[in-house]
Chains A and B, each alone.
Chain A
Amino acid sequence: MTAVAENKPAYDGKVLDLTGKSGARAFKNTLATVLIVLAFAVAMIPLLWILFTVVSKGYHLLLSADWWSQSQRGITVRRAGGGAYHAIMGTLIMALITAVIAVPIAILGAVYLVEYGKGTRAAKAVSFMIDILTGVPSIVAALFVYAVWITVFGFNRVGFAVSLSLVLLMLPVVLRSTEEMLKLVPDELREASYALGVPKWKTILKVVVPTAFGGIITGVMLGLARVMGETAPLLILVGYSKNINLNPFDGFMGALPTMINQDRTELALPNAADRVWAAALTLILLVLALNLLARLVARFSTIKSK
């Protein structure tokens, strides 16, 4: 309860005036309710509209098996046919590499913030930098990797470079969510473990991280969902290829966002438009599936804890 006492809001000298005419006050209350419900409705319209647009225009191509198993090799913009296999695989491969690099750093960084560095000046600096990294626009991350990977080292534009720039975007998301989860692990658990003489690192690995595991996975999936939809790094760091290329270190690679980008200027052609919306729907499905899975994991892990 002391906590609550500390948190008095600043009333800055204003006196609580509840003596007005009740009619006016009731009206204000109703007005506020209407406005707030209206705000919610306004927020929902774009979501439903976008989902409706993409689903209604994109679903029919997704029903064919070709879409999931063929590339766009040799398919010109006017022609129909082919699929998105190359783009789906490209997106998944780049996302996977990103996760492999970003997740360990993120979890260890969160462990540092919560378990090792808490309250120290260094931890505050790290925490501040994570906030900054969270705000780094994807185009800046892409330019940075371009500067290092291509201008300084002289490598080619490849899928791996995209993954490197996506790491910058995924790292803070996963790190922050992991940090939140680790903070929620009760101190009693740590103390009980220490009391048994378990070393700190083992306490972290066997007690703290497993307790927060569901939340960490949720964060990883949300991070993945964020980087999968990114387009800017793809535009700068890898060319779009209509062929299947599963090697992230050599050659251009297809990806769903660049597949959309490829044909978006040709939307007047029905076949190109079909492809664009089908690719958009595929991308949304991938991202939504990750989001829903993340929530499922979160729910599952909380249920388990009861």
Chain B
Amino acid sequence: MSSPDGTAPPDRPDGTASDETEPKIEDLVHEDAGPTPQFGGLASEHAEHEAAQQPAEVMTESGVEAAGTKATTETGGKLELGPVGHLGDRLFGGLARGSGGLVVLIVAFVGIFLLALAIPALIDDKSSFLFSRIWEPGGDEPRFGIAALFYTTVISSIIAMLIAVPIAIGVALFVTYYAPKRLAAPVAHAVDLLAAVPSIIYGLWGILFFAPILRPVINGLSSALGWIPLFEKPPGDNVGVVFTASVVLAIMILPVVTAISREIFAQTPISHREGALALGATRWEMIRLSVLPYGRSGVVSASMLGLGRALGETVAVLIILSVPNGNDPWNSSIFAGGETFASKIANNAAEFDSPEKTGAYIAAGLVLFVVTFLVNSAARIIVDRSTPGAKRPRRNRRAGAATEGASA
């Protein structure tokens, strides 16, 4: 029975955190800890708030004696500062709440500012912003639309997701249930390292080294499926095509999808797994019957997050995709060049000279923001609405880990 223990991210202090701080508590509880606190109900999360209030009472009522004896020890100082605690709590709590509120404000501001600067340009736009494929901002008659950008962005990201997700599931299963225990952690780290490679390096590597070996694949696919417009081979021999960008994007989102799937798979309750095995299931059947159903919604939301990442990826796509010549007819094939929202904006950063032009690019950025917002919200909602098996019961998991350890 391979246990997922070795595969948990190493930055997690596991259940051993309590051991670490035990000495501290012993210091605190040294002599006489005062009255026995009635924290029986604290195991549930909701008692947390009462807990915030209770200590103050404890202090004032019968903790005085304890405080007196503690004055000689180093913890005494803390207790003497008790009355100030109310101010401290207000200040610190206020800061914490303020930081939480700031996050909400930032996201709101991103939307508001982008919208505010995009609206004037959108009003001046002489063509349909949503359905036009022309991009000629600036001048007396600005004409720009996002249809082509939207298409390339979405198609490249979806292909990336379709390639990355099965591989990510495979890697996650390999790390959690197949790899020898000693190998699992290094393997997990190695996959994480993929996320550490800067995207500009993916771009360089992709266009210089990876695109040439993809060319036979592209030729094969286009000759077999060329009758579908999506796979049509355009004239000319072009390496910087949407498909190449998609494959590189797939490599880039692989660690994201893998990391989340891995974590979810590792959480499958051991009773489910052992139950399946006890019924005579093979390892694959065990995974199909217990691990995959348990992790399904986690994998779906991981895929959505990967999709969101791919939608917004800038530099790698910018380097790989060849910008179509303005005179060429628009081509829907994934074996043609193109531009995504992000690559368009980054490519034309030098053009931000007039508010009208800038507004057009900001409008494109706003659409990208909205699309990633929707995708990420969907990921979140899928997690929230999923079957109970796929929720992530953190507290319970700790309890479960403890019992697992005890039974082992």
> Which residues of A are interface residues toward B (Cβ below 8 A)?
1, 3-4, 6-11, 16, 18, 25-26, 28-29, 31-33, 35-40, 42-44, 46-47, 49-50, 53-54, 104-106, 108-109, 111-113, 115-119, 122-123, 125-126, 128-141, 143-144, 146-148, 150-152, 168, 171-172, 175, 177, 180-181, 183-202, 204-207, 210-212, 214-215, 218-219, 225, 228-232, 235-236, 257, 260-261, 264, 267, 276, 280, 283-284, 287-288, 291, 294-295, 298-299, 301-302, 304-306
CB-based contact A1/B403 at 8 Å: yes
CB-based contact A305/B13 at 8 Å: yes
* Closest partner residue, chain B, to A171 (CB atom): B103
Pick 10 A–B contacts, CB within 8 A, sort by A. Answer: A39-B166, A132-B373, A136-B107, A143-B361, A143-B362, A144-B114, A147-B116, A195-B58, A200-B92, A301-B13
How far is B345's CA from A239's CA once the two chains are assembled, in angstroms? 15
* Chain A residues whose C-beta falls within 8 Å of the C-beta of B214 in the assembled complex: none
* Chain B residues whose C-beta falls within 8 Å of the C-beta of A147 in the assembled complex: 113-114, 116-117, 362
- Of residues A28, A37, A132, A140, which shows the largest number of chain B Cβ atoms within 10 Å of its Cβ? A140
How far is B388's CA from A11's CA once the two chains are assembled, in angstroms? 12
CB-based contact A10/B99 at 8 Å: no
CB-based contact B33/A196 at 8 Å: yes
CB-based contact B99/A194 at 8 Å: no
CB-based contact B28/A33 at 8 Å: no
Q: What 0/1 readout, one digit per residue, does chain B (67-81) give for beta carbons within 8 Å of chain A?
A: 100000001001101
CB-based contact A199/B55 at 8 Å: yes
CB-based contact A295/B11 at 8 Å: yes
Q: Is B321 an interface residue (CB 8 A)?
A: no
Contacts beyond the supplied A202-B78, A229-B197: 12 A-B pairs with Cβ under 8 Å:
A26-B282, A40-B171, A115-B48, A126-B104, A131-B376, A139-B312, A143-B345, A189-B24, A196-B63, A201-B91, A202-B85, A302-B16
How far is B46's CA from A87's CA once the two chains are assembled, in angstroms? 50
How far is B315's CA from A159's CA once the two chains are assembled, in angstroms? 19
CB-based contact B196/A288 at 8 Å: yes
How far is B67's CA from A80's CA once the two chains are assembled, in angstroms? 71
* Closest partner residue, chain A, to B25 (CB atom): A192
CB-based contact B104/A11 at 8 Å: no
In the complex, identify which listed stretch (B226-234, B303-311, B326-334) lies at the interface while the others stay far away: B303-311
Q: What 0/1 readout, one digit per residue, does chain B (390-404) give for beta carbons within 8 Å of chain A?
A: 010110111110010
Q: B20, B42, B75, B279: which contacts A187 (Cβ < 8 A)?
A: B42
- Of residues B43, B100, B388, B403, which shows the largest number of chain A Cβ atoms within 10 Å of its Cβ? B100
How far is B312's CA from A249's CA once the two chains are assembled, in angstroms? 28
Instruction: Say how far A269's CB is from chain B's closest CB, in angstroms.
Output: 14
A111-B96, A287-B196 as given contacts; A232 in contact with B85, CB under 8 Å: no
Instruction: Say how far A7's CB is from chain B's closest CB, in angstroms.
Output: 5
* Chain A residues whose C-beta falls within 8 Å of the C-beta of B84 in the assembled complex: 199
CB-based contact A198/B380 at 8 Å: no
How far is B99's CA from A132's CA once the two chains are assembled, in angstroms? 16
* Closest partner residue, chain A, to B309 (CB atom): A135
* Chain A residues whose C-beta falls within 8 Å of the C-beta of B377 in the assembled complex: 128, 131-132
- Of residues A197, A215, A232, A257, which shows the largest number of chain B Cβ atoms within 10 Å of its Cβ? A197
Which secondary structure dominates chain B's binding surface? helix
Instruction: Say how far B244's CB is from chain A's closest CB, in angstroms.
Output: 13
A29-B283, A43-B171, A139-B346 as given contacts; A175 in contact with B103, CB under 8 Å: yes
CB-based contact B12/A49 at 8 Å: no
CB-based contact B388/A7 at 8 Å: yes
Q: What 0/1 readout, one digit per residue, does chain B (1-18) give for beta carbons within 8 Å of chain A?
A: 000000001111110111
How far is B19's CA from A188's CA once the two chains are assembled, in angstroms? 11
CB-based contact A140/B372 at 8 Å: yes
* Chain B residues whose C-beta falls within 8 Å of the C-beta of A140 in the assembled complex: 110, 114, 312, 365, 368-369, 372
A16-B289, A196-B28 as given contacts; A137 in contact with B18, CB under 8 Å: no
Interface residues of B in 102-123 (CB under 8 A from A): 102-104, 106-107, 109-110, 113-114, 116-117
CB-based contact A199/B100 at 8 Å: no
CB-based contact A109/B96 at 8 Å: yes
* Chain A residues whose C-beta falls within 8 Å of the C-beta of B24 in the assembled complex: 189, 207
How far is B103's CA from A206's CA once the two chains are assembled, in angstroms? 25
Q: A181, A191, A299, A306: which contacts B10 (Cβ < 8 A)?
A: A299
CB-based contact B17/A186 at 8 Å: yes
* Chain A residues whose C-beta falls within 8 Å of the C-beta of B200 in the assembled complex: 229, 231, 257, 260-261, 280, 283
Instruction: Say how far B148's CB is from chain A's closest CB, in angstroms.
Output: 17
How far is B102's CA from A235's CA once the two chains are assembled, in angstroms? 26
Q: A33, A125, A190, A206: which contacts B283 (Cβ < 8 A)?
A: A33
Q: Is B147 an interface residue (CB 8 A)?
A: no
* Closest partner residue, chain A, to B209 (CB atom): A53
Q: B16, B205, B394: which contacts A305 (Cβ < 8 A)?
A: B16
Q: Is B287 an interface residue (CB 8 A)?
A: yes
- Of residues B193, B349, B375, B403, which shows the largest number of chain A Cβ atoms within 10 Å of its Cβ? B349
- Of residues B63, B99, B358, which shows the largest number of chain A Cβ atoms within 10 Å of its Cβ? B99
Q: A117, A189, A219: which contacts B97 (Cβ < 8 A)?
A: A117
In the complex, identify which listed stretch (B124-132, B136-144, B184-192) lies at the interface while the others stay far away: B184-192
CB-based contact B187/A231 at 8 Å: no
* Closest partner residue, chain B, to A231 (CB atom): B315
* Chain A residues whose C-beta falls within 8 Å of the C-beta of B13 in the assembled complex: 181, 184, 212, 214-215, 301-302, 305
A3-B393, A126-B101, A191-B37 as given contacts; A298 in contact with B10, CB under 8 Å: yes
Instruction: Say how far A129's CB is from chain B's closest CB, in angstroms.
Output: 5
* Chain B residues whose C-beta falls within 8 Å of the C-beta of A194 in the assembled complex: 37, 39, 51-52, 54-55, 58
CB-based contact A18/B102 at 8 Å: no
* Chain A residues whose C-beta falls within 8 Å of the C-beta of B305 in the assembled complex: 134-135
* Chain B residues whose C-beta falls within 8 Å of the C-beta of A175 in the assembled complex: 103
* Closest partner residue, chain B, to A130 (CB atom): B103
Q: Is B66 an interface residue (CB 8 A)?
A: yes
How far is B166's CA from A183's CA once the two chains are assembled, in angstroms? 31
How far is B110's CA from A18's CA once the two chains are assembled, in angstroms? 54
* Chain B residues whose C-beta falls within 8 Å of the C-beta of A302 in the assembled complex: 10-14, 16
How far is B11's CA from A180's CA once the two chains are assembled, in angstroms? 10
How far is B396's CA from A1's CA once the two chains are assembled, in angstroms? 9
Instruction: Say how far B34's CB is from chain A's closest CB, in angstroms.
Output: 7
* Chain B residues whose C-beta falls within 8 Å of the C-beta of A7 in the assembled complex: 269, 272, 294, 388-389, 391, 393, 396
